[in-house]
Amino acid sequence: MNHSKHHSRHLRHTARLGRWLPSDPKHLNEWLKKAIEAAEKKKAPFHPVVEEFLCMIEHDPEMYMYFTQMFEEQPAFSPPPGSGDIKIQDYHQMLVIINHVLTSAPEFNTTAMVGCPINAILDFPMITQAGLAAFLSPKVNAMLKKVLNVWTQYLDSPDSRYVLNTSENGWLSPAALKALHMEDFIHDPKAPYFGFKSWNDFFIRQLKPGARPVAEPDNNKVIVSACESAPFAISTNVKECDAFWIKSQPYSLRHMLDGLFVDEFVGGTVYQAFLSADNYHRWHSPVSGTIKKIHHVEGTYFSEAPDEGFDPAGPCNSQGYIAHTAARALVFIEADHPIGPMCLIAVGMAEVSSCIATVEEHSRVKKGDQLGYFQFGGSTHCLLFRKGVISQFAAQAIAQGTNGTDSPIVKVNSLLAVTN
């Protein structure tokens, strides 16, 4: 694999999808340098979950090989001018920085925000040959889930509110409030931290009633956007089984759906869109109908499509691929006539991994009702429809640039598509 070729090609894509990592590589290098210095200066004892991670690596010969080789195999290309060339040196340094991250919350920044710090730590090793193997391993992903659960506990705590301030890098600064369109959300500007109980409480903030009206709520032929998100791809005539790991990342229903109700969707349509770091992170029902089944898949967290090469958006440019491999929630809905069976796939990406459903099987939902949310964060999602159901997508729902980089945000509950 020619890493230099892949790197130069991807650097031309200046926007990191969703603003989870900085658009300019030098900002990521600066963050990583500061994180290394802060973690090593702090010299904090390892959290028990980090100790467990260390033991897993060093006591399992396969894991020891992978986590040694992935740092040795980091692509040896020349860094962008002025960016520096900061890389994690080995798995022990990786764990020192992860240990530091477990008691920190993401800060706001208009150009250099690192919303997914563990993703940033693994940006290079995750795409090496050893990294590709390691981050597909169920054993590694079970360990990563434990680590991310510990971080979630911190982000659920009042201590995490220190980033909810009015400083330049605070989420209550004028620039942040403007980017967040905070006027659309329930909050109390007179209360400490605007009334939020934790970082996660702020992150999954709720819209004010009426802020996102449902398009034609009584018209069953109108499908609305399930998330506040930017279009990534639309695919028709989707196959039961396909080579989803290649460059084009086609959709493979058997793998996306974990084998459930596959026959109902063969030849159908997939719509995929991604959520940005400053988006609303709850999912709403795109149709009226009955919840048929909710199924959670224990998947990957830091696995990328091999054919992407070094992916500076890691793994944002691999969204088609991670719809098959990543931790995700499948919400099957028996929609009212004429739509019939459909499925929402909420996909966790990197640290943005907890997919929380807030509805129950066999319950009735109306178009626009909440189905669940991402915690911490937002990631990507797919809507699956049967063959012949979709007549056309609204112009706003069609990706405008390469991998949707120039696509405008489609507001939740707004017109997405119409049926035949």
Q: Angle at the Cα of 100 (from 97 to 106), degrees rounded to 5?
A: 100
Structure tokens at 259: 């084998």
Cβ–Cβ contacts within 10 Å for residue 351, how many?
26
Type and span of the H or E element at 130: helix 129-134
For residues 379 and 259, what is the distance between their CA atoms, to the nearest angstrom?
22
Type of residue found at 163 = V
Tell me whether the omega of the peptide bond preceding residue 376 falls within 30 degrees of 0, making it cis. Answer: yes
Task: Determine the pLDDT at residue 325.
Answer: 85
If you write DSSP's letter for every residue of 278-299 in order, what string do you get? TS--EEE-SS-EEEEEEEEE--
For residues 22 and 31, what is the distance between their CA atoms, to the nearest angstrom?
10
Task: Determine the pLDDT at residue 313.
Answer: 44
For residues 258 and 180, what is the distance between their CA atoms, to the nearest angstrom?
35
Structure tokens at 332: 């099957």
> In the sheet where 269-274 sits, what is the strand order?
230-235, 269-274, 380-385, 340-347, 328-335, 289-297, 364-365
Alpha helices in 305-420 (DSSP H): 319-325
Q: What are the mean pLDDT values of the chain's consecutive 10-residue runs (420 residues total)?
A: 34 42 64 80 90 97 95 67 67 92 85 65 82 92 92 94 94 91 95 96 93 96 94 91 66 93 95 84 96 92 64 58 86 97 88 80 97 76 95 90 70 96
| Displacement of CA 47 from its chain's centroid (Å) | 25
Contacts of 258 (CB under 8 A, 6+ apart): 295, 297, 330
Q: What are the φ/ψ torsions at residue 34 (nearest 5 degrees)?
A: -65, -40
- Any idea how long the chain is? 420
For residues 322 and 350, what is the distance between their CA atoms, to the nearest angstrom?
10
Torsion of CA 112, 232, 320, 13, to 10 degrees: -40
DSSP code for 108 = P
For residues 261 and 320, the answer to whether their CB atoms sit within 8 Å is: no
Name beta bridge partners: 352: 349
For residues 302 and 350, the answer to whether their CB atoms sit within 8 Å is: yes
Closest listed residue to residue 386, CA positions, set 293, 270, 226? 270
For residues 379 and 349, what is the distance between their CA atoms, to the nearest angstrom?
5
Name beta bridge partners: 330: 295, 345
For residues 192 and 133, what is the distance between their CA atoms, to the nearest angstrom?
46
Closest listed residue to residue 23, CA positions, set 395, 405, 280? 405
**How many Cα atoms are found within 13 Å in the side-chain-facing hemisphere of 374?**
31
For residues 244 and 246, what is the distance between their CA atoms, to the nearest angstrom?
6
For residues 244 and 250, the answer to whether their CB atoms sit within 8 Å is: yes
| Displacement of CA 166 from its chain's centroid (Å) | 26
Alpha helices in 24-60 (DSSP H): 25-42, 48-59
For residues 333 and 356, what is the distance between their CA atoms, to the nearest angstrom?
16
